[in-house]
């Protein structure tokens, strides 16, 4: 009988507080390290609107180009139908014009807005993006047209 009593336990170990304290300290350490990464709002660089003209407003306004793609993949640039090769030539000439107006250090920015139908094929969007990449134009925004 003494051999059996060695392996028996009463089954009630009680509430173990040590593992709970370990978990709480790990969570505290995690949040303390994250708190150090926060930026104070006074350190953020922002310009608020004012009535005085700023130096940035005197710069050239960006060139804005609009590309529309319907669900069949037909591409239009400023409401004129174009092909991928036409877009490459157009974007290259726009980039040359941008450099001519602003110089090589600060060329006039070119912003391309691609407006695609909801069911547009990705190949047509990739064609426009490839034409932009060939002309080294990187400012692009996407919209989804409600009606086409």
Mean pLDDT, rounded, for 118-141: 85
Most confident of the ranges 49-53, 118-122, 128-132: 128-132
CB 116 within 8 A of CB 67: no
Give the least confident one: 104-108, 123-127, 135-139: 104-108
Residue 6 makes CB contacts below 8 A (sequence gap 6+) with none
The whole-model pTM stands at 0.55
pLDDT of residue 42: 61
Annotated domain spans of the chain = 56-144
Average pLDDT, the chain: 78
Nearest to 129 by CA among 67, 62, 61, 63: 67
Nearest Cα neighbor of 68 from 110, 131, 117, 111 is 117
On the question of pLDDT at 28 being above 90, the answer is: yes
Q: Which residues contact 124 (CB under 8 A, 6 or more apart)?
A: 69, 73, 74, 75, 116
CATH-assigned architecture of domain 56-144: 2-Layer Sandwich (3.30)
């Amino acid at each position: 009988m003494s051999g059996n009593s060695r392996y028996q336990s009463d089954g009630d170990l009680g509430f173990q507080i040590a593992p709970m304290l370990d978990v709480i300290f790990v969570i505290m350490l995690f949040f303390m390290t994250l708190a150090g990464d926060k930026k104070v709002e006074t350190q953020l660089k922002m310009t608020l609107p004012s009535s005085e003209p700023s130096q940035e407003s005197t710069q050239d306004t960006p060139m804005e180009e609009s590309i529309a793609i319907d669900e069949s993949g037909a591409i239009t640039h400023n409401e004129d139908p174009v092909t991928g090769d036409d877009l490459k030539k157009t974007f290259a000439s726009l980039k040359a014009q941008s450099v001519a107006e602003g110089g090589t250090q600060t060329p006039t920015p070119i912003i391309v807005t691609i407006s695609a139908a909801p069911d547009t094929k990705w190949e047509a969007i990739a064609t426009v993006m490839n034409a932009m990449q060939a002309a080294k134009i990187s400012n692009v925004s996407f919209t989804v047209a409600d009606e086409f």
